[in-house]
Amino acid sequence: MTNIFTAWLDPELGFLVFTVRRLTYRLSQGAAAVTHTDFLAEGCIHPGTPEMVQLLPEEERHKEFIAIYTGFPLSLGSNPGGVNWTAADRILYDGRIWKLAKLRDWSQFGYYQGLAVLTDE
């Protein structure tokens, strides 16, 4: 299969380096403590299109959002039911924090597509 992600390494298409923040929660003595790890990722970030808004969860459709194309393995989080869980990745871009709301794993083509909504964090 063709790896199309290499085409996005072109600065003319919007290639940039951005930060992915992964939040980890740990339940301890009835309270949840949160820590985070920051990763540098590269790819393209563009404003979301009107057609993409339909891909967002309904409760997120009224928010400003961006489309992310990256080779970095983004995550919507996981909650296996224990004392540790992770939240959806945060994207630090343009001086603001965006929460990953939709993820398409197209790693067989060399990239992930994410839609992230603006947060108040």
Among residues 69, 30, 28, which one has the least CA distance to residue 48?
A: 69
| SS3 label, residue 26 | strand
**pLDDT the model gives residue 83:** 84
Domains, in order of start, for the chain: 4-118 (2.40.10)
**pLDDT the model gives residue 77:** 95
Task: Write out pLDDT tens, residues 31-50.
Answer: 888 999 999 999 999 999 88
Task: Enumerate residue ranges in the chain where pLDDT < 70.
Answer: 1-10
Among residues 91, 118, 115, which one has the least CA distance to residue 104?
A: 115
**pLDDT the model gives residue 81:** 77
pTM for this one? 0.86
Q: Give the tokens for residue 83.
A: 């004392």
**pLDDT the model gives residue 109:** 84
Tell how far CA 22 is from the center of its chain: 9
